[in-house]
């Protein structure tokens, strides 16, 4: 993986690290590309059951590295990079955030220090966000006269009321992890977000990977479906699980009082 982003897989948990600590993990073109490639690598690895996404050096990501783009919005928004990439509906920049929503497995973001602009939108692609109470978060694009355009219209759609998103985007103001919790922007405040994310990742990895993937699919699809369709989605996913090898193993392990041994799910 690129030096901009590191990827390690331990005990079915993938750890993705934004790795420019000297720049507070500010995102340049190399980091955007590396984040998308990390997500694609995870998608192709059936052994991965959960993902932890964090930044090196005590910060999540301070936003776009404007200096790396020579201070020009034109340089950032080239026509090619603003078009969908490959099979994804996301463009070059959106992919770095949207790839986490596209993954079949849960993604947990651990937020410390700065989480501004592009960084916040990358974290918004995760299923769950743990942040330190003193973390600093902002939808900061208005500072540069721009809209937040890295998938936030999809990733925060079912997370926060639209008036709260508007207030943060209109003002670009910086909120603490504690206020972000009150606003619904994060899932929980943790004293040690990375360690807490690893603990949850390990707990998820110990569950049936088929059921975990089905839960992510259910909560992604059904929440935006009409009631009749949502109920059909529940039933369809459940019928696919009942009697499957991993579901049978869950039952047997519980009855035997032992740790379940699950098969990896094909990608």
Q: What's the predicted TM-score (pTM) here?
A: 0.93
Give pLDDT, residue 169.
Answer: 98
Q: Are residues 199 and 239 in the same domain?
A: no
Q: Does residue 133 form part of some domain?
A: yes
| Stronger pLDDT, 87 or 38, i.e. the higher one | 38
Give pLDDT, residue 221.
Answer: 94
Report the candidate in 197, 180, 181 with the shortest Cα–Cα distance to residue 127.
197
The tens digit of pLDDT for each residue in 126-156 reads: 999 999 999 999 999 999 999 999 999 999 9
Q: Are residues 169 and 233 in the same domain?
A: no
Number of H helices, E strands in the chain: 11, 9
Give pLDDT, residue 191.
Answer: 98
List CB contacts of 266: < 8 A, sequence separation 6 or more: 46
Give pLDDT, residue 66.
Answer: 81
DSSP assignment of 46-102, as one string? TT--EEEEEEGGG-SB--B-GGGGTT-HHHHS-TTTTSB-TTSSSBHHHHHHHHHHH
Q: Are residues 147 and 245 in the same domain?
A: no
* Domain coverage including residue 229: 208-256
- Structural domain count, the chain: 2
Give pLDDT, residue 266.
Answer: 78
Q: Are residues 181 and 120 in the same domain?
A: yes
Q: Are residues 133 and 229 in the same domain?
A: no
The tens digit of pLDDT for each residue in 175-232 reads: 999 999 999 999 999 999 999 999 999 999 999 999 999 999 999 999 999 999 999 9
Q: Does residue 65 form part of some domain?
A: yes
Q: Does residue 262 form part of some domain?
A: no
């Amino acid at each position: 993986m690129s030096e901009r982003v590191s990827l390690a897989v331990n005990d079915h948990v993938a750890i993705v690290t934004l790795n420019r600590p000297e720049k507070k993990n500010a995102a340049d073109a190399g980091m955007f590309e590396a984040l998308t490639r990390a997500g694609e690598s995870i998608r192709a690895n059936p052994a991965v059951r959960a993902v932890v996404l964090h930044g090196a050096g005590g910060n999540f990501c301070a936003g776009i590295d404007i200096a790396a783009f020579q201070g020009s919005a034109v340089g950032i928004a080239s026509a090619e990079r603003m078009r969908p990439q490959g099979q994804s509906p996301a463009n070059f920049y959106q992919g770095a955030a949207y790839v986490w929503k596209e993954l079949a497995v849960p993604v947990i973001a651990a937020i410390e220090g700065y989480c501004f602009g592009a960084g916040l939108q990358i974290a918004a692609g995760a299923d769950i966000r743990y942040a330190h109470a003193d973390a600093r978060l902002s939808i900061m694009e208005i500072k540069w006269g721009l809209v937040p355009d890295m998938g936030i219209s999809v990733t925060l759609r079912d997370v926060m009321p639209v008036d709260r998103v508007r207030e943060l985007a209109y003002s670009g103001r910086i909120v603490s992890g504690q206020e972000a919790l009150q606003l619904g922007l994060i899932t929980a405040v943790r004293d040690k977000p990375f360690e807490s994310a690893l603990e949850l990742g390990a707990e998820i990895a110990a569950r049936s990977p088929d059921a975990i993937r089905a839960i992510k699919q259910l909560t992604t699809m059904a929440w935006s479906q009409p009631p009749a369709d949502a109920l059909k989605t529940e039933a369809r996913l459940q019928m696919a699980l009942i009697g499957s090898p991993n579901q049978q193993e869950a039952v047997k392990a519980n009855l035997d009082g032992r740790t379940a041994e699950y098969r990896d799910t094909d990608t």
